Chains A and B, each alone.
Chain A
Amino acid sequence: MSAVAQARSLPTRRGGHPLLAFAVRRLAAMVLVLFAISLLTFLIFQVIPNGDPALRLAGKLATAQEIKDIRIQWGFDKPIWVQYLRMMEQIFTGKVISYTQRVNVIDEVGEALPATISLTVGASVLWLMLGVGLGLMGALLARGGRLARIGDRALGALAMTGISMPAFLVGDLLLFYLGYKLRLFPLGGYVPLTEDPWQWLTHMILPWLSLTVLFAGFYSRVLRASILDTMGESYVRTARAKGISSRRVMLAHVLRNSLLPIVSLWGLDFAAVLGGGALLTETVFNLHGVGQYAAESTQRLDIPPILVITLLTAFVVVVLSAVTDLLQAALDPRVRLR
């Protein structure tokens, strides 16, 4: 008998440290991802029309000779792979220069980051809380009587409205009514937290809200479905049969288990917004964040900042997916780190 259980149950931890192996695997994966993404982005700008960086650098009034000089000076006449390697070297040594603005891109991104981080952290906490609250409410209503189920439908419609509204529309509406008409909030811009915490807060609230409208609806629907599934699980019936309070059944068994899928979702959305994914929101509120910088650079077909931001996004996504995997493993013993 004992042999049975031994092999089946004891989470043996002999050999190399599990977390180390996990970190090594993820690091290797990250290098691969960054390489692939950077190469792809770089190549795309080689083939799109009007993508020639020499034209950007030379400006509109440049002569053919000037363009040719620039091309030689910047090494655009070299083979593509040499150009790629040079670019990568510049990026990782922090010396990469924008083709249109002639400024250091890394510095620019560094300046844009605080705004984006402020946006991401605040909004993600808000949308998670609101999403969980609404999801829980929806699930409870869905299990209730006829009137309650109407309430659930209304919540569902509300969530769908939030999900399907474009980010710029939500932002513009908030700005127009709460900022312009009621003058409750400033009309965009970003004030660093270190400069004036109160101003920082008032400037961030509307952007947070507009992202929350977008994500909370989605999260509430996912969680509602997850909770309803979990409530049908046999172990929830067991929990009820134990004689614990229905509140405890709901929190310790239903909600806790239902949150597992939300965790990874949240990690990836957090990463996406942090990597400049909320460019519409950033632009509407003029936050001068990473997303807005990416949007402007794309308009200028300015390859270096685009590459840098793309790499940043990929990096953040890979790191956060590792973090959410760790979180999942901590929350669910059946999950194995891979």
Chain B
Amino acid sequence: MQASTEAQPVSGVNMEPSTPAQGAPLLSVRDLSVTFHGGRGVVQAVAGVSFSVAPGEALAIVGESGSGKSATALSLTGLTREAGAQLHGSIEFEGADLMGASQIQLRQVRGAGIAMVFQDPMSALNPVQRIGSQIAEQVRAHGDISKAQAGERAVAALQAAGVPEPQLRSRSYPHELSGGMRQRAMIAMALSCSPRLLVADEPTTALDVTVQAQILAELRRLREQTGMAVILVTHDLGVVAGFADRVLVMYAGQIVEQGSVSEIFADPQHPYTWGLLGSIADMTAERPRRLPAISGAPPSLQRPPSGCRFHPRCPHAHEACLADVELLSRVRDGEHLDRCLLEVDAKRSLRMRGGGIGL
């Protein structure tokens, strides 16, 4: 599948002070594939994805719906394991193999080693249980402590996540909180067992823009405070800029580009990335007549396009794009990988659209 994907754990050297030095990666994913056999045929949601996360690192996985970003994130702790799903490849967390792990072994990792925050906190929290007891349930699953102690830990977790009046809130039901508070409660739950890796799957998508900014700032603060690594899964490259050290761009189940956040924003190599960058609104610039958009719709994952999977939507596609394209380092530095055949110099001129980067 991939020849030279020696994706070393890259720590964003000049980005955040909290990233520790090189060493064994916290999480290492090799050639992950996820296939669902459903009523409407076979869907390969993830097609050979490899990456790693260093301790304390913030990695963003960016892509449209159907890009496989959520399936990748859920597969890390086996949440896609079910009848009709096939997982291949390897997932190692802190040196332990999770792909072959038993349900009991996985359970010990879930919540304690790798915790998750989901998109819509209204539906992601059980509507008929109090916030506090939902957090306490997780605490008790990972430590032999009394109900009362777990309750106190829940209140402390709520406080740490910036929930005012945590004592009172822990007695509330999800529908009694505002959207922002619910997401903070969700974060509190995720952090209650001090995970080494937090996977946040579209944590701000369902929220107002003002609250989005608050939640992202909160996540950034908590990461600096605890030193945990974070995987941020999102469709909006705009929220990535101030948050992540490194970025994976996914399209139709594959990684099409990966690199440090500064590389992705300043020197993006794949046209799909250009498209995503172009769709970020720039409020400081003059309003464009039209927003730069990626034309067409994401392909069907039952019958993905041959060759470069983006070629049907790419204005720069040529015949060579019909053959498979590998994820390679085409820029000189060796850690910035992409899946586009165009010459680097050609890309640098092709991607300029009206003063900014776009497709």
Contacts and interface: CB of A to CB of B under 8 A. Distances in A.
| A and B together in one complex | yes
Interface of A: 1-2, 4-5, 8-11, 143-145, 148, 233-235, 237-246, 248, 252-253, 256-257, 260, 331-334
B141 A243 contact: yes
A35 B44 CA distance: 63
Given A143-B83, A246-B103, A241 B128 contact: no
Contacts of A145: 83
Contacts of B193: 243
Nearest to B163: A5
A243 B194 CA distance: 13
Contacts of A244: 107, 111, 137-138, 141
B21 to A, nearest CB: 30
B169 to A, nearest CB: 8
A332 B176 contact: no
Contacts of A233: 123
B108 interface: yes
Given A235-B124, A253-B126, A240 B110 contact: yes
B359 interface: no
Contacts of A1: 164
Given A9-B168, A10-B168, A243-B109, 5 more contacts: A237-B79, A237-B124, A242-B137, A244-B107, A333-B175
A35 B303 CA distance: 65
B177 A235 contact: no
Contact of B141 (A237, A242, A253): A242
A143 B164 contact: no
Contacts of A237: 74, 79, 118, 124
Given A5-B178, A144-B83, A334-B173, A245 B128 contact: no
Contact of A234 (B124, B142, B176): B124
B116 A331 contact: no
Given A9-B172, A241-B79, A235 B127 contact: yes
Contacts of B168: 9-10
A129 B153 CA distance: 37
Interface residues of B, number: 41
A333 B82 contact: no
A5 B126 contact: no
30 contacts: A1-B164, A5-B164, A5-B169, A5-B178, A8-B177, A9-B172, A143-B83, A145-B83, A148-B83, A235-B123, A235-B124, A235-B125, A237-B74, A237-B118, A237-B124, A238-B118, A240-B79, A241-B111, A242-B138, A243-B108, A243-B110, A243-B112, A248-B137, A257-B126, A260-B128, A332-B127, A332-B128, A333-B127, A333-B173, A334-B175
B107 A245 contact: yes
Interface string B178-194: 10010000100100010
A181 to B, nearest CB: 43
B120 interface: yes
B157 to A, nearest CB: 13
Given A234-B120, A241-B79, A2 B165 contact: yes
B173 A8 contact: no
Contact of B164 (A2, A238, A245): A2
A11 B109 CA distance: 37
Contact of A5 (B74, B111, B137, B181): B181
Interface in B102-151: 103, 107-112, 115-116, 118-120, 123-128, 137-138, 141-142
A253 B74 CA distance: 19
B107 A243 contact: yes
Given A243-B107, A243-B109, A238 B178 contact: no
Contact of B126 (A8, A239, A240): A239
A243 B82 CA distance: 16
A334 B172 CA distance: 11
B96 to A, nearest CB: 14
A331 B178 contact: no
Contacts of B127: 235, 257, 332-334
Nearest to A4: B178
B124 A252 contact: no
Contacts of B112: 243
B36 to A, nearest CB: 14
Contacts of B115: 241
B77 interface: yes
A233 B126 CA distance: 9
Nearest to A148: B83
Contacts of B181: 5
A1 B177 CA distance: 12
Contact of A243 (B74, B111, B175, B177): B111
B170 to A, nearest CB: 12
A242 B79 contact: no
A321 to B, nearest CB: 21
A241 B77 contact: yes
Contacts of A260: 128
Nearest to B128: A332
